Structure 1
Amino acid sequence: MSTDFQQARAALGERLRELRESAAGGRLTGTELAQRMGWTQSKVSKLETGRQTATAEELQAWAEATGQPESAEELLARLRGLESHVRSWRRQLASGHRAVQEAHNVAQANSSVLHAWESSWVVGVLQTPDYARAILSRFAELHQSPRDIEEGVRSRMRRQEGLYDSDRRYHILLWEPVLRSLVCPPSVLAGQLDRLAGVVGPDTVELGIVPLSASLKLPPGGGFWIYDDAQVIVENWHAELWLDDAASVSTHLKVWKTLRESAVFGADAQNLISQARRALNT
């Protein structure tokens, strides 16, 4: 997590402690507030020390439990500021996958030059509907989120309109294991590989494959997107990080350029895709 995020979460914790100590009717101890809210004392402590991020519902409950309901809006504004950088999957997927996909659609539509690195799966903008359906289903199972899979797939497919925008450029790098990872049925992966073969060549898309046998100056690491050299989006199992500070952007761009040195393009990329396709025997 970014230092800015940690500082903001600590500041939110300090504000929560202030509200507890200035509670209507007199100062509450952490134990007393926990009992009033039906929580453990350790949860109160973690929230006040910035070791845990409160949900919107928890902030609302805190404001009411301290007898200061008018402070709820302020607390929620602080939370929104946090989540502009760190967006937990639990919160994002509370209302399903479509809203998450729409947020990415907007971010990509507002960008002209996009760089991507992915070591685990085919990036969303190049996915087939069947492949996207398989990926979203896996994440719905992991996070126990609403299964609005079809709405999420349709939204993700709309993102691909950008591939045909002559004013936009996509520079996408995939690690070769992505071509062989059975995160979906073999028949679905076969269709996905056929789709990838079709995007090698258009002037709006530069698709590079980093061979498994290539010498790497950096470990592959996790996937990320860079939008207009101004914002980075990084995914992990818990959350997405939306980072716009210069240090984060420059570091990820340096990583991308370093990984690109090991990539192959054009006919060589086509050969790797074709080899993976033949290996499926479908």
Structure 2
Amino acid sequence: MARSAVMSTSKLSKIENGRAAVSVVDADRILTAIGVSEAVKAEYMAAARAEATEATAWRLYRRLGYHRKQQQIKAMDDTTTLLRIFQTSLIPGLLQTPEFARAVFARKEIGEEQLSRAVGGRLARQAVLYDPAKELQFVILESVLRWGLVPPAVMVEQLDRIVSVSRLSGVDVRVMPLAGFHADVPGHSFAVRDDRTVTVETVHAELVVTDPRDVDLYVRKFERFSSAALAGDDMRSLLEGIRDEFLRKQETGLERPPGCP
């Protein structure tokens, strides 16, 4: 069952023997793996959510391997019907090109084998973009699309990728422009799954929020920004304009922004 629940055998053993607490995510995976009825699952999940918020330090994921973290996220995505992602700092993993994903994981200073496995795990998750049973909504700040994390040539390809994915039937990509008056502050990035679980990434840890009252705060924040963001052709026009700026940087030899090694 450990494999189908996407967790190590040792972790499952500790949970079974009462030597490790069961998180909401763990409970969801285990109950899904053993195939309990929806009524039974709802009862156990309600008990697990009583803990409300959980935090897992990034150093633990580093120890386990970032590819395992990608597998865990994929397992959650596979059981999610409506996924809402609000990004204030980085292009969402589901939209990243292989080159961009490699640059992101390379900054974690891991070996080549671990790097390749992490990138492969992230790219494998992107199959969900083509699942007709899924609804994926993204709201991204314009500043994220201008951030010079990678050379201009990579950003050109990355922006083209987002434009292409935005045309998929089950995908809604919106961009919050820098220009204009804004009635709210973006804060940090987060992902909402089926309006029941929120994942928040902080500097030191990943938080999982499950209290319905708190989840609702994130849902409403997402909806406020989504309603104010550019969508459809307006969004694509903005991205194409930013892409052209990176093209000009590439043509003039500015392969990296000033100050970057």
User: TM-score when scaled to structure 1?
Assistant: 0.69
* 8 Å CA contact 1:105, 1:159 repeated in 2: yes
Give the corresponding residue for 1:107.
76
Shift of residue 189, structure 1, vs aligned partner: 1.1
Which runs of 5 or more residues in structure 2 are unaligned? 1-16, 27-53, 251-261
**In 2: Cα distance, 1:83 partner to 1:162 partner:** 19
Q: Do structure 1's residue 133 and structure 2's residue 99 form an aligned pair?
A: no
Shift of residue 215, structure 1, vs aligned partner: 2.4
Shift of residue 136, structure 1, vs aligned partner: 1.2
Give the corresponding residue for 1:259.
225
Matched ranges for 1:184-195 at <5 A: 184-195=150-161
Q: Which has the higher helix share?
A: 1
SS in 1 for 2:60: helix
**In 2: Cα distance, 1:268 partner to 1:82 partner:** 39
Which runs of 5 or more residues in structure 1 are unaligned? 1-72
Correspondence for 1:119 among 88, 93, 98: 88
Structure 1 segments (4+ residues) deviating >6 Å:
none
Matched ranges for 1:12-31 at <5 A: none
Residue identity opposite 2:121 in structure 1: S
Give the corresponding residue for 1:173.
139
Correspondence for 2:184 among 203, 209, 218: 218
SS in 2 for 1:187: helix
Shift of residue 82, structure 1, vs aligned partner: 9.6
The alpha-carbon distance between structure 1 residues 183 and 275, as it changes in their structure 2 partners (threshold 3 A), is same
Give the corresponding residue for 2:174.
208
In our comparison, the structure showing a higher alpha carbon Rg is 1
Matched ranges for 1:57-76 at <5 A: 76=19
* 8 Å CA contact 1:95, 1:146 repeated in 2: no
Shift of residue 221, structure 1, vs aligned partner: 1.1
Matched ranges for 1:140-155 at <5 A: 140-141=108-109, 148-155=114-121
Shift of residue 146, structure 1, vs aligned partner: 5.7
Give the corresponding residue for 1:20.
none
The alpha-carbon distance between structure 1 residues 246 and 201, as it changes in their structure 2 partners (threshold 3 A), is same
Identity rate, percent: 28
**In 2: Cα distance, 1:245 partner to 1:265 partner:** 30
Residue identity opposite 2:74 in structure 1: N
RMSD: 1.8
Residue identity opposite 1:101 in structure 2: Q
Shift of residue 81, structure 1, vs aligned partner: 4.5
Residue identity opposite 1:100 in structure 2: K
* 8 Å CA contact 1:97, 1:146 repeated in 2: no
**In 2: Cα distance, 1:146 partner to 1:224 partner:** 28
Determine which structure has greater relative contact order: mean sequence separation of CA pairs < 8 Å that are 6+ residues apart, divided by chain length. 2
**In 2: Cα distance, 1:92 partner to 1:247 partner:** 28
Give the corresponding residue for 2:5.
none
**In 2: Cα distance, 1:244 partner to 1:274 partner:** 38
CA deviation digits over 1:157-182, x for unaligned, max 9?
Answer: 11111111111010111000111111
Residue identity opposite 1:86 in structure 2: A
Q: How many residues align?
A: 204
